[in-house]
Amino acid sequence: MTTFTRSTIPDAVRTNGATPNPWWDNAVVYQIYPRSFQDSNGDGIGDLKGITSRLDYLADLGVDVIWLSPVYRSPQDDNGYDISDYQAIDPMFGTMDDMDELLAQAHERGIKVIMDLVVNHTSDEHAWFQESRDPHSDKADWYWWRPAREGHEPGTPGAEPNQWGSYFGGSAWQYDPQRGEYFLHQYSKKQPDLNWENPAVRRAVYDMMNWWMDRGIDGFRMDVITQISKVTDPDGRLPGEPGSRIEDYPAGEEGYSSPYPFCSDGPRIDEFLKEMRREVFEHRDGYLNVGEAPGVDAVRNGYITDPAHKELDMLFLFDHLGIDQVGPKWVSRPFAVQHLRHQLALQQEAVKDHGWASLFTCNHDQPRVVTRWGDDSSEEMRERSAKAFGMLVHLHRGTPYIYQGEELGMTGAHFTKLGQYRDLESINAYRQRVEEAKVQSPESMMDALALFGRDNARTPMQWDGSKYAGFEAPGAPTEPWIAVNPNHVEINAAAQIDDPDSVLAFYRKLVNLRHNSATVAAGVWNLVDDDDASVYAFTRTLGDDRLLVAINLTGEAAALPAQVRGLLEDGVQESQMVLTTMDAIHSAKALAAGKLEPWEGVVVEL
């Protein structure tokens, strides 16, 4: 097993603005989607024992933290993001003893573990919600309950409290006959939104978080945490409700308006996050908390992650991931380097004086970047583009996140039939857009699912070239819960682990560079060219140390921008090549010739 060291960045070097610097300032986080990572018992679903069995692989990669998507008890309507018991492990993933063993084994290897936390909503099978269905219960207002519109029969079209639509299709309101009222669900109808306006709800959430922290986990990744605060009028009415003083936006092509503008980065979000920090984290050391941040822009990220404000350490922003979409998620436009550069530059500039950035292109909700923006049409182009986007993410200032299989250059699923998908969002979107609203053709919707569908990131981890890619034994009694990508025969960890030119080997170099170069971890970021259609270039500077990063993010050879040529006017020696997606000799010659090959990226010491 490779032994990695991680140097300490001196407090004299500013990272996020805290003193002393946080422990995670040069760390790398690895996200695990448990049901697709490693199955230990042959039931077709990944589990905690499977993760534990692969910890040496993660230690060899060099990562410092693993983030687990939800493993709590759940009906699995949204693959575990609908939690029915926060303090129990779902049997499909194992037991609490298995969780404790994973924590112990990870910590023994110097790897911290953070858990996904979903507290904007629960499952409708959670005890809190079941009690809330009784209007006389002390939990009666733990969720967003509203009566049917006057003059309408409850449960019929038009009786909903307002015209909001769910992000997963259909109305954002579900009628409950037992209570005789509707409840709000921004996501699935089995994911009712908690009412964070109620201090008892917040107290219960903090108590649960403390229970986990006391058990030994190292923090949380908080799902859609910036949607816990909703806009209401002075009387507590939501926009568009009868009598509300706040007007809703018009309905869109699917027949609904969106709750997003009123439920994202709401008026009390800073208050709630500060309270959470006081109640859960302030008296602890060695933790990490990162929030998924719908509705938060780069400037707000700088505020929320500024340690002086005592909210969250990091946020996941999504503006850069919407650059190839027009309006709805399912309508695409071509990838453009200029659009990506613009969004990432905004994020970097917003934290140049305080705060911190999360660096990522992939996760369980996003398609594989090598298929989405790269080129998986051939083995050579797949490897080149996988390395190029890896370099792009890991050479920016902030904390890099690797999503399982990204370090292998795993591709999208390339499904061609709706029946191959398992994701609730994708299936509902097809039904809503194609069959009900009829705003998209079946052919274009299938193309959109192949490009943007979440299942592209959820096919089993490709460990080797055997029948089920090593995710489970070839003779397992049950097939994986979702089909293994057929290209696992060529793309897998076993084939790359001893190959010095593999994508996996390149990611090891990226992690090592993050660990041991304070310039990469915390140096000042400056854009070199703001308009080139092919090459994304920037510098990282710390004292007298200055690095130039230039990456051709296209499948065609590209001339170096004039500003880059100006920085290299004295020539480039092979010894100046810190890292390249190809090889040092080739890249030095390419720079001397004023060009980069398709998907070629370089890090040069100036």
Residues belonging to the active site = 223, 292
- CA-to-CA distance for 230 and 217, rounded, in angstroms? 30
Helix, strand or coil, per DSSP, at residue 419: helix
Residue with tokens 């939690």: 83
Quickly list DSSP for 519-543: HHHHSEEEES-S--SSEEEEEEEET
Amino acid at 182: Y
Tokens standing for 285?
Answer: 């050391």
> What Å distances lie between residue 65 and 106, 114, 165, 463, CA to CA?
9, 7, 36, 20
Angstrom distance (rounded) from CA 421 to CA 268: 37
Query: If phi over 0 gives left and psi between -120 and 50 gives alpha, with beta otherwise, what is residue 47?
Result: beta
Three-state secondary structure call for residue 425: helix
Q: How far apart are CA 70 and CA 80, in angstroms?
A: 6
| b/e code 332-348 from CB counts within 10 Å (16+ = b) | beeeebebbbbbbbbbb
Provide the 10 A C-beta neighbour count for residue 206: 17
Which structure tokens are listed for 322?
């919407």
Exposed, middle or buried: residue 444 (CB in 10 Å: 0-12, 13-18, 19+)? middle
Token pair 């060529």 is found at: 490
